[in-house]
């Protein structure tokens, strides 16, 4: 039985999907055009060395002031595929997972045969990893872990981890021989991404961060989950070689490669500039409206909100009856059926979700 995920618009009719956290502005038309224009290459195998993609990605980060070698990049069919490859190439015996977090971390650890230790983040702190830093550091120093998996921002809480905290954790991992996997897939939606990332440190001091791998994806910011394109950034030659040996030869299709090159050549900059101001305004609107409905809404830095209600499973069924899909968090380690997650969409769509929830909760609204 696979883990539950958002995006199941196939089992029941869905008009509005709030269960997946994508760019609310949708896929850029220029990117869609680039994909369709790549059809001439569909009769050829993609470049097994991913040269265009690596050069395009390195060029985009260079324009941000980050000197990352094209060789640092490994592309795959989504970040989840790369995560699986990282676990199966490294074969960690013991893994430390702060929770709640993305369910695939646990699933991949279990599938690779690793022993897992969950570090449960406090609901009272808003699931803030910084508040659990002393316990995390103690666990790393006093217990032996081969791998630590973190996310900034975290899913489903939406909390980003400050670069100072990440540097401290990376330093402890260096001293304990723990491999650090940092998932930054939702970092595109942060106003000042560098303040919540280890990439500036990897770019400046690659030799000190060979034990760190950063996962990222174009799925969220470019709203292209059906194309499947993620990437890993690792400064260690040995780590990259181990990962590449465990991957299939052609993990990225020609359409996905065309989308990636188009994104890194300029679309990403435009999308980030457009979506961030709108996201902050709509996130505040959605959070405030849900609080007015009597729900507990936790602070978020990302394009989604974690909410606590009486029964999220009941709420999900009632919303689905209205053609709206939300993400129950009952299957997340560290949460239960009282929690659910929704993405932040446009004002019209957010208002429709709010009205539906108010009606379900027995409230009246004029819209």
Segment 178-231, tens digit of pLDDT: 999 999 999 999 999 999 999 999 999 999 999 999 999 999 999 999 999 999
Q: Please calculate the CA angle 122-128-131 and round it to the nearest 5 degrees.
A: 80
Average pLDDT of span 31-54:
96
Has residue 334 been placed in a domain? yes
Nearest CA to 350 among 308, 315, 305? 305
Is the predicted pLDDT of residue 365 greater than 70, yes or no? no
What sign does the dihedral 100-106-108-114 (CA atoms) show? positive
Average pLDDT (269-284) is 94
Percent over 90 (pLDDT), the chain: 95
Whole-angstrom distance, CA of residue 157 vs CA of residue 40:
42
Number of H helices, E strands in the chain: 12, 13
219 and 345 fall within a common domain: no
Q: Is residue 293, in this structure, part of any structural domain at all?
A: yes
Q: Are residues 172 and 206 in the same domain?
A: yes
CB 53 within 8 A of CB 257: yes
pLDDT digits (tens, 9 = 90+) for 250-273: 999 999 999 999 999 988 999 999
Domain hosting residue 284, numbered range? 16-26+269-360
Instruction: Identify whether 3 is part of a domain.
Output: no
Looking at the fold, whether 117 and 242 belong to one and the same domain comes out as yes
| 102-126: average pLDDT | 96
Instruction: Please state, in angstroms and rounded to a whole number, the distance separating the CA atoms of residues 92 and 95.
Output: 7
Tokens of 348: 């019209």
- SS3 call for 288: helix
Can you tell me the mean pLDDT for 151-162?
Answer: 98
pTM: 0.95
Please report whether residue 291 resides in a domain: yes
To which residue do tokens 């009769």 refer? 43
Cβ–Cβ < 8 Å for 95, 114 = yes
228 within a domain of the structure (yes/no):
yes
End position of a domain, from candidates 232, 267, 302:
267
Both 210 and 318 in one domain: the answer is: no
**Of 267, 296, 317, at which residue does a domain stop?**
267
The mean pLDDT of the chain is 95
DSSP-assigned beta bridge partners for residue 95: 116, 147
**Please, which residues have CB within 8 angstroms of residue 273's CB and are 6 or more apart in sequence?**
none
Q: Are residues 161 and 197 in the same domain?
A: yes
User: Is the same domain home to 155 and 258?
Assistant: yes
Residue 127: is its pLDDT beyond 60?
yes
Q: Is it the case that residue 3 has pLDDT exceeding 70?
A: no
What confidence score (pLDDT) does residue 84 get?
A: 96
End position of a domain, from candidates 267, 291, 313:
267
Q: Which residue has the tokens 């905290």?
A: 165
- Answer whether residue 366 shows pLDDT above 60: no
Q: 276 and 185: one domain?
A: no
pLDDT (average), residues 315-338: 97
Residue 5 banded pLDDT, cuts 50, 70, 90: confident
DSSP annotation of 310: S
Q: 147 and 161: one domain?
A: yes
- Structural domains counted in the chain: 2
């Amino acid at each position: 039985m696979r883990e539950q995920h958002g995006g199941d618009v196939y089992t029941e009719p869905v008009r509005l999907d709030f269960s997946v956290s994508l760019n609310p502005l949708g896929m850029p038309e220029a990117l869609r055009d680039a994909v369709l224009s790549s059809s001439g290459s569909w009769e050829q195998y993609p470049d097994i060395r991913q040269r265009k993609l690596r050069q395009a990605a390195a060029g985009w980060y260079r324009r941000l002031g980050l000197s990352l070698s094209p060789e640092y990049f490994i592309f795959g069919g989504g970040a989840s595929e790369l995560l699986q490859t990282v676990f199966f190439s490294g074969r960690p015996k013991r893994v430390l997972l702060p929770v709640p977090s993305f369910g695939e971390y646990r699933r991949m650890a279990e599938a690779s045969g690793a022993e897992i230790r969950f570090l449960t983040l406090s609901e009272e702190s808003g699931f803030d990893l910084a508040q659990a830093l002393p316990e995390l550091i103690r666990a790393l120093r006093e217990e032996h872990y081969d791998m630590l998996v973190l996310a900034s921002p975290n899913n489903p809480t939406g909390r980003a981890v400050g670069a100072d905290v990440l540097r401290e954790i990376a330093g402890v991992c260096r001293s304990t021989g723990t491999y650090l996997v940092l998932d930054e897939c939702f970092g595109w939606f942060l106003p000042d991404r560098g303040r919540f990332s280890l990439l500036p440190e990897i770019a400046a001091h690659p030799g000190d961060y060979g034990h760190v791998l950063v996962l990222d994806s174009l799925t969220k910011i470019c709203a292209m989950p059906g194309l499947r394109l993620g990437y890993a950034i690792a400064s260690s030659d040995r780590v990259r070689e181990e990962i590449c040996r465990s991957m299939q030869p052609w993990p990225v299709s020609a359409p996905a490669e065309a989308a990636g090159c188009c994104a890194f050549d300029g679309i990403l900059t435009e999308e980030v500039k457009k979506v961030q101001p709108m996201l902050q305004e709509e996130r505040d609107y959605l959070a405030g409206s849900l609080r007015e409905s009597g729900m507990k809404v936790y602070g978020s830095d990302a394009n989604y909100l974690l909410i606590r209600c009486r029964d999220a499973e009941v709420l999900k069924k009632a919303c689905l009856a209205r053609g709206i899909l939300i993400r129950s968090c009952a299957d997340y380690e560290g949460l239960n059926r009282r929690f659910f997650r929704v993405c932040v969409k446009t004002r019209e769509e957010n208002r429709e979700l709010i009205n539906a929830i108010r009606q379900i909760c027995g409230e009246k609204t004029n819209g």
